[in-house]
Structure 1
């Protein structure tokens, strides 16, 4: 994965689409407990209704659109990687997908407003666009790859949204091989040292923690 250090994010995710068939973590791992992302899943399923209009930021290859989209009145989603969107349209034909990076002008056919904006390890930039996208009583649900993602509450405060709840989950995990550990560290913007692997890796590989930060917020009345 040395090439990944010089890739743009868009090219990296396009490569994942071609090589792995979607937006998947490109390293093997074994978890010692429940997936810490289950909190996000449970909240999302509980908050959806047949009347909910959903916008998903950073939809990847469309797994959430495929799984949860039928529970909503509408599931719209966007991503900035064309290769992932092609997979998403195949995986969730009932949803509507848009090529967008969340920062430029909102696509004309991505017409809101939306009652529920969700992002699974996707871009936090969508938070700054919530005033343009959200219905008056809308909610926002996010899960990130660390216990602390400080820009999320900071940006919610900047746009005047109220945090209803925060959850932090962590489970032990193993990366079974040195190559998996290198890839995991690169993905998380951490340094992988061969000396650490030689000293600390056991029969199951390198022990680490899979962490998730989940936040639920709502738009305050104006």
Structure 2
């Protein structure tokens, strides 16, 4: 991809070429997907009366998968192309265009019982007290074992961690093109020389990492 990673043009291209916000490289995991921890916690906190706000809904995979298990699923994203796909993928959910900056749209003000962010914008933390029901929970997953700014920002708005999970699974990028795309996606430097020095018959080994956090009001 020629557009700067995680720019609006880059996300629009993902929507066009991959049909959503997906990892644009092939990977082979030697163990369970580390995001299963997030899935399990999300499922545990869904009830028929739960109202969910999803920050960074992307093309709507979680709304399509989990939306029927709760009373209301509302998502927002800054990328119109992804929201168009989300509305088609999860027609029972609600989706709104917002970049997490400035005044929050009225339709996103809740109250919500569960606020979720699967690698989505951490800026939603600044709005938790405005959107959250009294006993609400915030569930987040990030792409590295530590995301220090998340617990720090939570403390700044009077929320505290109820649990943290760090999951790491060995993974393989089978080809140089896959490895190059992965490094671009993760904003990591690489070179063909590095690939040639470390790749083997299965490709290049790396750790697929996730940091999962569940929080509530302190």
Pairwise TM-score range, normalised by the shorter structure: over 0.9
* 1:203, distance to aligned residue in structure 2 (A): 0.9
User: Once the 2 structures are TM-superposed, how far is the Cα of residue 109 of structure 1 from its aligned partner?
Assistant: 2.5
Question: For residue 31 of structure 2, what is the aligned residue in structure 1?
Answer: 33
Query: 1:200 maps to which residue?
Result: 198
- C-alpha separation between the residues in 1 aligned to 2:64 and 2:89? 6
Matches within 5 A, 1:150-161: 150-161=148-159
1:129 aligns with one of 127, 130, 142: 127
User: What secondary structure, in the 3-state scheme, does the structure 1 residue paired with 2:107 have?
Assistant: coil
Work out whether 1:86 is the aligned partner of 2:62.
no
> Which of residues 47, 68, 75 in structure 1 aligns to 2:73?
75
Residue 69 of structure 1 aligns to a residue whose secondary structure is helix
Residue correspondence of structure 1 range 154-193 to structure 2 within 5 A: 154-193=152-191
State the secondary structure of the residue aligned to 1:149. coil
Shift of 1:24: 0.2
Q: CA deviation at 1:200?
A: 0.7
Q: 1:104-133: CA deviations, max 9, x gaps?
A: 211123241111100001111111111111
Residue in structure 2 matching 1:95, options 81, 93, 96: 93
Question: 2:97 and 2:176 mapped to 1: Cα distance?
Answer: 36
* Unaligned 5+ runs, structure 2: none
Superposition TM-score, scaled by structure 1 size:
0.95
- Partners in 2 of 1:9 and 1:127 — Cα distance? 21
| Structure 1 Cα separation of the partners of residues 6 and 93 of structure 2 | 27
- Secondary structure at 1:142 match in 2: strand
1:187-206 per-residue CA deviation (whole Å, 9 max, x = no partner) reads: 11110121111111001110
CA distance in 2 between partners of 1:77 and 1:104 (Å): 17
TM-score (norm 2): 0.97
Aligned partner of 2:62 in structure 1 is 64
> How far apart, in 2, do the equivalents of 1:70 and 1:205 lie?
39
5+ long unaligned stretches in structure 1: none
2:109–2:130 CA contact under 8 A, matched in 1: no
Shift of 1:9: 2.0
1:4 aligns with 2:3: yes
Quote the offset at 1:8 in angstroms: 5.8
SS, match of residue 163 in structure 1: strand
Aligned residues: 218
Which structure 1 residue ranges, 4+ long, deviate > 4 Å from structure 2?
none
Matches of 1:158 and 1:69, distance apart in 2:
30
Shift of 1:135: 1.2
